[in-house]
Structure 1
Amino acid sequence: MTSDDVLLRRACAADARPAADVWLRSYAAALPTVRCAHGEADVRDWFSRVLVPEYETWVAVTENSVVGLLVLNGRELKQLYLEPEWHGRGLGDRFIFLAKQQQPEGLTLWTFQVNGPARRFYERHGFVEVERTDGQRNDEREPDVRYVWQPQT
């Protein structure tokens, strides 16, 4: 199955749990050295109470399974996570294209400094590093980096 066979759609309440599970698996695979600041139950609760109902949350669905998620809060790209086996198959590219369509004036995001693959991915999509911190402002206390994408004028 290719990423073209995957449906991208707005998340509904029933997607909160499977999207949270994708987030948990992806986080564990991509960031093994970064402490997850919240337990699994708290993450699932956050998805069902906050992310899905209050933010612009999109899911990637194949055969009734959620395999990825994108969360936007205005111009901020809050979350982009894929099932680990979907990395490198074009699904992340589709989510970035969608985010840029939804926010054509520009986007900003944070990622951890240790997440080299994510940083390369965002840079490949035109995001530019604009700030680094020591991580004291995030829940994980992990050094992070802020990226900005501005459309070509």
Structure 2
Amino acid sequence: MNIVPATREDVLGVANILSQWNAATPWMPRLHSRASEKYFARMLVERSWVHVARHDGRVLGFLARDNTMIHALYLSPAARGNGIGKALLDHAKTASGTLVLYTFVANEAAQRFYLREGFIEVARTGGQGNDEGLPDIRYEWRNSP
């Protein structure tokens, strides 16, 4: 597996992972069309925010980061539980001494993952700042000297 900057050829793989996660998550309202997911994936890649975990030409997962803000970290269903999310996060940690992200309160698996990876909870919202209107948690990670 390699972690590399995403290219235009990765857009469909990134969009597919987003779509699969949304479809498999019962508490997530389906607000965006498939075309909208593709547009979002293309926008993230074009901004050079995305690194992908790739194996044999297939995108297994991706992390989208703008400076310190992680906007997305998703894996294909088959890639979960294999250390790929940790590898993507570790890659981001080497690029920035501070990372910030939000995850939904309902996403308990993500909460456990981020806490295990050294993030701390710094705030909770009622969902006013996200499209879904779902309560979320702001996490931060700082590299300790």
Into which bin does the TM-score normalised by the smaller protein fall?
Answer: over 0.9
- The aligned residue for residue 27 of structure 2 is 33
- CA distance in structure 2 between the aligned counterparts of 1:36 and 1:69, rounded to whole angstroms: 21
- CA distance in structure 2 between the aligned counterparts of 1:65 and 1:19, rounded to whole angstroms: 10
Matches within 5 A, 1:123-138: 123-138=115-130
- The aligned residue for residue 89 of structure 1 is 82
SS of the residue 1:81 aligns to: strand
Comparing 16-25 with 111-120, greater Cα deviation is found at: 16-25
Would you say 1:44 and 2:28 are equivalent positions? no
Question: Which TM-score applies when normalising by structure 1?
Answer: 0.90
Q: Determine if contact 2:5/2:48 at 8 Å carries over to the other structure.
A: no
Q: How far off is 1:118 after superposition? A: 0.4
- Alpha-carbon RMSD across the aligned residues, in angstroms, is 1.1
Amino acid at match of 1:130: V
Q: Which runs of 4+ in 1 moved over 2 A?
A: 26-29
Question: Which TM-score applies when normalising by structure 2?
Answer: 0.95
Would you say 1:145 and 2:137 are equivalent positions? yes
Identity of aligned residues (%): 34
- CA distance in structure 2 between the aligned counterparts of 1:55 and 1:108, rounded to whole angstroms: 18
Amino acid at match of 1:7: N
Amino acid at match of 2:125: T
- CA distance in structure 1 between the aligned counterparts of 2:82 and 2:21, rounded to whole angstroms: 15
Amino acid at match of 1:18: G
- CA distance in structure 2 between the aligned counterparts of 1:8 and 1:71, rounded to whole angstroms: 12
Amino acid at match of 1:94: A
- CA distance in structure 2 between the aligned counterparts of 1:36 and 1:12, rounded to whole angstroms: 27
- CA distance in structure 1 between the aligned counterparts of 2:51 and 2:22, rounded to whole angstroms: 18
Paired residues, what number? 145
Q: Give CA-to-partner distance per residue, 1:49-103, whole Å, 9 cap, x none.
A: x100114211111121111011001100111000112111111110111010011
- The aligned residue for residue 7 of structure 1 is 2
Give the unaligned 5+ runs of structure 1: 1-5
Amino acid at match of 1:47: A
Give the unaligned 5+ runs of structure 2: none
